[in-house]
Amino acid sequence: MRVLVVDDSQIMRKIVTGALKKQNVNDIVEAANGQEAVDVVAKDGNISLILMDWNMPVMTGIDAVRKIRTGGSKTPIVMVTTESEKEKVIEAIKSGANDYLVKPFNPKDIQAKLEKFLPPSNG
């Protein structure tokens, strides 16, 4: 399966891709902002999971979620963000995100989210 990791921080992308590799997911695509993510999803129909930051330059993660859903993609999206207010979580879910992980997270937190969306064969 192919996972798209969207974050403007290269360090955070490294952390998330490291967690994915521990789950035996090695087919990973990275994007540095929401627009890049929208473009990847439009061109690549094999994305199985999207891990999306919220605050990014060019296009925010929440705007990218809306665009991806408007484009018809049903790929699961997990917001991985510092935005922890209840209103933000509700906004994300209403916009089409499937789940939510608040930074700072520990390795168990992100592994639990990945296990929820990745097939058992990858665990």
Partner 1 sequence: MKAENINPFITAVNELFENMLDCKLKMNKPGLVVQENGTPDIIGVIGMSGTAQGIVALRLPVRTALAMVGRMVGMEFRGVDSSIIDGVGELVNIIAGSAKGKFDGHAINLSLPTVVRGNICQLSNLQNAVFLDVPFESELGNFSLMVTFKPAVVPEKKEAIHAGIGSR
Binding site for partner 1 (CB under 8 A): 8-12, 14-15, 18, 55, 57, 81-85, 102-106, 109
Query: Is the separation of the CB atoms in 10 and 109 below 8 Å?
Result: no
CA-CA-CA-CA torsion sign (91, 97, 98, 104): negative
Kindly tell me which of 60 and 73 has the beta carbon lying closer to partner 1. Answer: 60
CB 37, CB 68: distance < 8 Å: yes
φ and ψ at 55, to 5 degrees?
-85, 105
Q: Which residue, 21 or 116, has its beta carbon nearer to partner 1?
A: 21
Beta bridge partners of 92: none
Q: How far is the CB of 33 from partner 1 (least distance, A)?
A: 11
16 versus 118: smaller Cβ distance to partner 1 = 16
